[in-house]
A = this chain, B = another copy of it.
Amino acid sequence: MGTRAGGSSNGGRRRNGGTTTAAQPAAGAAMRAPDRTDTARDAQSGLSRAQRLELYYYMRLTRSLEERLVNLYRQTKVVGGLFRSLGQEADAVGSAYALDRSKGDILSPLIRNLGSMLVQGARPAEILRQYMAKGDSPTRGRELNIHYGDLVRGFIGQISHLGDMVPVMAGVTLSFKMRGQDRVGLVYVGDGATSTGAFHEGLNFAAVQRCPLVVVVENNGYAYSTPVAKQTAAAQFLDKAAGYGIAGERADGNDVLATYQVTKRAVDRARAGGGVTLIELLTYRRKGHAEHDNQSYVPPGEIEHWERENDPLDRYSRALLASGDVDSQELAAIDARAQQEIDAAAADAEAAPMPVGPDALVGVYADPPAAEMLWFRSGVTSAVAVHERPAGWGTHDA
């Protein structure tokens, strides 16, 4: 259960590296406090004080950014649905933190893994622009929410079809192996996504090829409205590992350090040529599948219980304070800094322009570079007459 000390050091990790720019202040820069014992390692996790604060920063940034998205959603500034990871921030942040960006590790996030993308260098302004479908968003308005990627920073945009990223990441990591690169891949799947054929085929393929891949099953209790007991008859997802002949571990996904450690072990194993690890992280989805979902299917008190007893941010700030080398002012300063970054990003994103119609035709193929203009559209840039926008036109229901 991830409580034993990880034998590995985190020496190779350089977080605030060359990818940040003056215009985009380095995430986590606020945590550099040279007058403190920044390099003192935590006995269990092997993480320095600065790194442990960085984990806190990413968790806070995830939560605050999603809260801002809720506001924007209520103001109908978000075009599609809004998907929260409330209560799951530790699992996404802790696991992604075990990758080494300096080595070119690659991660494939799912809809609840905003935190992991932030760790890999995604920026709040990008996320906000994506949700608002802006023309200068990473996908130029073509794809929804956090469905985007950047191979340079090391994350790959998911598609909606659950499970499909597992074969894709099998191939990404197969290429690492073929080229003798010292790189590792990590792919997330939900409890629900484990039921898909693609999950099975991809995991089996990676296992046989001994790809340097970590597969994180985020067991958050539900797939949309479906509880885990209707998704699988297995006692735990961990039990699937043996069926693929791969290593398996299970950890408390709401404990960011435990999550980090278990993933770090798997990453180290992968990098050392030990093949695939399946990690089951136990967590809980406190919000509905998306913002519209009223969670009527959840037994009374369950959400409140998790909120009260097992909020990953509460738990982690308590632990940090209890460790004695962090004080509450420092945490408050991180909170404020995250908030400022989001404020700036939101102003920026709101001001950004929407794409224009003909942009839609560009880039389906490398060659030809643009699709043909429709014959009835030649010379027309706005397709829709004003009266065509019916009442109720807007976000889709699910």
Listed in ascending order, the chain A residues whose CB lies under 8 Å from chain B are: 195-201, 204-205, 207-208, 210, 230-235, 239-246, 275
Contacts and interface: CB of A to CB of B under 8 A. Distances in A.
A206 to B, nearest CB: 9
Contacts of A205: 195
Given A243-B234, A245-B232, A245-B235, A201 B208 contact: no
18 contacts: A195-B201, A195-B204, A197-B201, A200-B201, A204-B233, A207-B234, A208-B230, A233-B244, A234-B242, A234-B243, A234-B245, A235-B242, A235-B245, A239-B242, A239-B243, A240-B243, A241-B243, A242-B243
B196 A208 contact: no
Residue among A204, A207, A230, A275 having the largest count of chain B Cβ atoms under 10 Å: A204
A243 B245 CA distance: 12
Contacts of A200: 197, 199-201
Nearest to A242: B239
- Most chain B CB within 10 A, of A201, A207, A233, A244, is at A233
Contact of A196 (B197, B231, B235, B275): B197
A20 to B, nearest CB: 40
Contacts of A239: 242-243, 245
A245 B233 CA distance: 5
A317 B230 CA distance: 47
A244 B242 CA distance: 11
Given A234-B244, A239-B243, A240-B242, 7 more contacts: A195-B201, A207-B232, A208-B232, A232-B244, A234-B242, A241-B243, A242-B242
Contact of A231 (B198, B208, B246, B275): B208
Nearest to A204: B195
A35 B207 CA distance: 58
A210 B235 CA distance: 14
A279 to B, nearest CB: 15
Nearest to A194: B204
Contacts of A234: 207, 242-245
A320 to B, nearest CB: 37
Contacts of A235: 242, 245
A199 B198 CA distance: 11
A238 to B, nearest CB: 9
Contacts of A241: 243
A244 B235 CA distance: 8
User: 7 tightest A-B contacts by CB?
Assistant: A197-B197, A233-B245, A200-B200, A240-B243, A234-B245, A243-B243, A207-B233
A210 B198 CA distance: 23
A198 B198 CA distance: 9
Nearest to A240: B243
Contacts of A210: 233
A310 B205 CA distance: 32
A229 B87 CA distance: 41
A33 B231 CA distance: 52
Given A242-B242, A243-B239, A243-B242, A233 B201 contact: no
Contacts of A232: 204, 207-208, 244-245
